[in-house]
Every structure is written in C-alpha cells, then in structure tokens.
Amino acid sequence: MNYINMILNRVLIFCFFAFISWSCQTDMELEIELPEPKKKLVLNSTFTSFTPPYVKPLQVRLWNSWPVLDTSQAKQITDAKILWYENDQLLDSLYFDDTLNAYTLREFYFPVEGANYSIEILKDGYKNISAQNFIPPGVPIQDYKLVSFAGLNNDNLAYSSVSITFNDPEHTENYYEIIVTDVSNEKNKYRLWTNEKIITEEPWYPSVLSFDSKLPQRLLFNDKQINGTEKQIVFYFTPEQVIDKGKLKIRYSIIDIYLRSVTAEYYRYYTTLLQHKYNQKGDFFYGLSEPLNVFTNVENGYGIFAGFYNDAVTIEIDTLTIR
C-alpha cells in the first residue's frame, strides 16, 4: 500500500505542477537567432573478421550532418575518397558498392584480430575525418538453451527465453553485446529484455516507467561485476506467432543468437546512443531527461568506427500451439 500511495502522490504532484505551468503561460513571440552549425561528416562502420557462417563484409557508410532543428533526413554521401589503413600501412581505397549501399574494398577482404585499422575520409566542402580501432579477442558461447514458450506478456502474446553461458577473460576490461536476428539476416533484429542486473543497472537500459519506449534491439554490458568468471545471461524476446482459427501459435522459424565481444568505443557509442534516445522519451513521473552527448571516436566528425568479434549459434523454433 505504501508503494501505491507513493505512486498516487507522484501522479497528483505531476498533475498539479502541469496545471500551474499551463495556467501561467502567456502568448508571446520570442525570436532567437541560432548560429548555423558547422557541417561535419557522419561515419558509421562496425567491422569484424571472417567468421563463417556469419560472414559480414567490410562496409563503411557516410552522411552529411544536419542541424538539430532540421527534421529533414540526412543525405548519404557516395562520392567521398576513403583510404583504408592496416597497421598504419595504406592498404587500398574504398569504392561505393550499390548492392551493399556502402563503401567496401574491391577484393574479398576481411579485417583480422590483432591488427589495428584506421580510416581517412576526404570530401569537398568538409574537414577531413579519421578514426582508428581494432577487433577484440573473441569470447565463445559455452552453452545455450532456448525455451520456446516462457510465458505471455501484457498483450497476451507468447515470449521465449534464451540463456547463454560464457567465460569472461580475467585481467582485462571486456564489453559485450547480445543480438537476436532471423537466420542470416542481421537487419531483422528482435527486441529484447532481461532481468539481469548486470544489464538492467546500465544507465542506458530503459526505465520501467518509460511506457512509450520500445524495447532495445541489443543488450550491451561490461564485465565489471563478473571479471574472470563464468556467467549465464537469461533474456527474452517475442517469437513469430499467429492467431489461427482462434488459437495462438508460435510459428516455425530459425534465429541467430549473437554474443559479440566489442571494443570500448563500440560499447560507449551504442550505450550513449540508446540512453540519448530513451532520454528523449522520458518517463511518466519525471518527464524528459537532460540531453546526452552521443560518444564518437571520429576526429573532426561524428559517428562510430569500431571492431567486434562475432560468436553465434543458430536455433530452430518449432511450431507450438499456446492456447
């Protein structure tokens, strides 16, 4: 009852101050001249080694930056000069591949663990930008388990649970990312949630009071609480399902479950990006949070250039009638 009273008190206080704020408003026009922001290039490239069957070719995408108050879409740039370096040696220039909708190398090329990679980008009208990163050592999935039907959510849809076990290397700072996709289709990511404190206590993880926020498509965490130990992570997602003749059925599907070892730069970029997006949504009691600067490791620009190591398992989900 104390918890319910606390919630009701917060609602009343929120409504009171909202009324006061509304009643005190006056009609006035305020002209503010904002300085024109400098144009900067926005880079996005996350790269990994050749790890069959989960092969991801080298891809680099580039956009022009756009003013904060401009709601138009950013334009992708396809005619920049991009130089690719391996261990400080110029390897080649990248070209734009229409099939990938990204820059790539002309030959069958994949970065490798243990090497340092850097990129330099030249485009008329913009400052040259550059960045560097590497692929961290891989941490394999030791064991995994899928429960096709783990319960019903608030919408009466079935959800599944997955547990993965891995051994965190000791004496090093390690960063991880979990993703679930349709088989061989990284673009189609499932939305995930978990009760693991190692993830829910991360600043980026959405508050339970953020009713309008969508669940994340990636779970990011570090090893500060588990350094050098074996860890099992349990998380949940909503599988493909259909109502057939009044019965709820989980459909047959094949999914890939990724445990990615990522660099600190990769981790900082995506955690601050997620936290920034959730801050814009706010929550029921406290409203919008303070804006958050999204991390970048791109010199003279924005975005991310970072490596990761993929380990993954492919799992079949059989057809199952729920109710």
pLDDT of residue 69: 39
CB atoms within 10 A of CB 238: 17
The DSSP call for residue 225 is T
- Cβ 132 vs Cβ 198: under 8 Å: no
- DSSP-based three-state secondary structure for 64: strand
d(CA 74, CA 261): 30
25-43: per-residue pLDDT in tens?
444 444 545 455 578 999 9
pLDDT of residue 53: 76
pLDDT of residue 223: 97
Ranges of each domain in the chain: 41-134, 143-293+308-321
- Which stretches of the chain drop beneath a pLDDT of 70? 1-37, 66-73, 210-211, 281-292
CATH architecture of the domain with range 41-134: Sandwich (2.60)
Residue with tokens 């920034």: 276
The DSSP string of 259-308 is EEEE-HHHHHHHHHHHHHHHHHH-BTTTBS----PPP---BTSEEEEEEE
pLDDT of residue 35: 52
pLDDT of residue 279: 82
CATH architecture of the domain with range 143-293+308-321: Sandwich (2.60)
The DSSP call for residue 3 is H
Overall size of the chain counted in residues: 323
Instruction: Spell out a b/e string for 149-174, using b for 16 or more CB atoms within 10 Å of the CB, else e.
Output: bbeeeeeeebbbbbebebebeeeeeb
pLDDT of residue 31: 52
pLDDT of residue 323: 81
Which residue from 75, 65, 70 is spatially nearest to 34, judged by alpha carbons?
A: 70
Residue with tokens 């990769």: 266
> What predicted TM-score, i.e. pTM, was given to this entire model?
0.84
pLDDT of residue 168: 98
pLDDT of residue 185: 84
One fold for 41-134 and 143-293+308-321: yes
Sheet holding 320-321, edge to edge: 241-244, 247-250, 320-321
d(CA 92, CA 59): 14
The number of C-alpha atoms within 13 Å of 115 and in the hemisphere containing its C-beta is: 15
